[in-house]
Amino acid sequence: MSANTLRNPSVAIIGAGMTGILAAIKLREAGIDDIVVLEKADELGGTWRENTYPGVACDVPSHMYTYSFRGNPEWSHRFARGAEIHTYFKQVAQEYGVDQQIRFGEALERCHHVDGQWQLHTSKGAELTVDFVVAATGILHHPAYPDIEGLDRYQGEMWHTARWNHDVDLAGKRVGIIGTGSTACQVIGNIAERCGQLTIFQRTPQWIVDVPDQQYTEKDKAGLRGRQDKLSALSRRYAMALRNTFSKAVTGKKIPLALMSWAAKRNLRKSVRDPELRAKLTPDYPVGCKRLIINSTFYEAVQRDNVLLETAGIERIEEGGVVTADGQLHEVDVLILATGFSPFNFMRPMDLRGRDGVSIDQVWERKVQAYRSVCLPGFPNFFLMLGPNTPIGNYSVIAMSEVQTNYVLKLIDQWRAGKLDQVEATEEAKQRFNDYLREGMGNTVWVGGCQSWYLDADGDPAMWPYSWKQWVKELEEPDLDDFRKAA
């Protein structure tokens, strides 16, 4: 079929974060120009717009954390700061004209499949009809609040790290922070010196690896400007290093796992002098079972005289502070919730209904699953980007999104050429794929007995249990036998 006779679909992209920007660029490159991007906020950027807490940075090397077709020579450090990353995505969106296609401040509230198309209703009352929906809503964008008695009774200043209150000066204040994950470690390393007293409420200690955060000079940046070839080569080197260390380790390769374990344990042993404090900071689960934290400031901060690491469980919250299981009241002026996100919400709470009116809540009532992490049986012409079992341990989500976007474009091409009337994976294909995932999980570190956001309600990891190379191969070409044929 010639280019002139291809069907030209209309596409709605939900979300103007990293993946939504990428999808818009690639759809236009494929000759699809009937595109609308719906963004609930007043600005693009996704997680890098939402998270502005002190110390926010990426834990993937910055030159790897870019689109493959548009590197960035201006990074200030090996691990880019959040504001820099946000600026990068705004620049790319402007350069490629994506910002002109975004409808800001307009959330998608209702998305129903009717008579072969998607009927959309937005928060501004607009009604849209499109052929395809690309849900680029991200993984970590619904803040998770802890279920602690009395949280609503606290009288001081309180906020989630993803909703940082920059109007409150922490200087000299008694500050409590709940959580010791990646975000908490970044925050603690940044605010400890300013606080009068900082109490860290730790439920579970974390394994931390210190990777030097190189600062790039003007000379470094100048050598990369206008040289996409150099930027791409640098990205490939970092990607290869991660694939051969972290990615292999978490998927059960013994030598990389042993090296990663040694590095994390050595970092703790060398960084924390006091044996009692070191014991409190030593996890009782294998390295990598939770997401490995890349950080060079937390251990130093936790040893400051004005910092207390509290390991007794939280009993309740009172008006003036936090009561721990030993009955002690920790009075705090500010309470910070570094309690992460709800990773299994995806596009919800959107009212999403597929073929025959089936709702996503019904389909996912028992288990959040997808075919190839992208397609949902019962939801024709609907693509979930970075869906369940996409995450690859300590790897760039941009690289993951690029692979998935290419796969989605190939499926849309099948529709454009008339080879698929509707792009919908079968239930049987979804089940085979998830059986395949389950077979590989037994070799991974995620089944090491710890609790983490990687695990669903059944305790099954929503991760990719094989190699990066295998993941790319799985999404290289669509298998049309796995999709519903025309009725």
CATH numeric code, 151-215+252-337 = 3.50.50.60
Enumerate the CATH 3.50.50.60 domain ranges in the chain, comma separated: 3-139+342-482, 151-215+252-337
Backbone angles phi, psi at 118, to 5 degrees: -100, 125
- pLDDT for 382-437, tens place per residue? 999 999 998 777 789 999 999 999 999 999 999 999 999 999 999 999 999 999 99
DSSP bridge pairs for 324: 314
* Domain 3-139+342-482 superfamily per CATH: FAD/NAD(P)-binding domain (3.50.50.60)
Once rounded to an integer, what is the mean pLDDT over residues 348-376?
A: 94
Write down the pLDDT at residue 447. Answer: 81
Write down the pLDDT at residue 1. Answer: 46
- pLDDT for 207-263, tens place per residue? 999 999 999 999 999 999 999 999 999 999 999 998 888 888 888 889 989 999 999
The structure's pTM equals 0.94
- Binned at pLDDT 50, 70 and 90, residue 313 comes out as very high
Taking the chain, what is the end-to-end CA distance rounded to the nearest angstrom?
22
Write down the pLDDT at residue 188. Answer: 98
Once rounded to an integer, what is the mean pLDDT over residues 285-295?
A: 88
The full DSSP string for 300-360 is HHHTSTTEEEE-SPEEEEETTEEEETTS-EEE-SEEEE---B-TT-TTTTSEEE-GGG-BH
- pLDDT for 427-474, tens place per residue? 999 999 999 999 999 888 888 777 776 777 787 888 899 999 999 999
For the stretch 225-264, what's the b/e string if a residue is b when 16 or more beta carbons lie within 10 angstroms of its beta carbon? Answer: eeeeeebeebbeebbeebbebbbbbbbbbeebbeebbebb
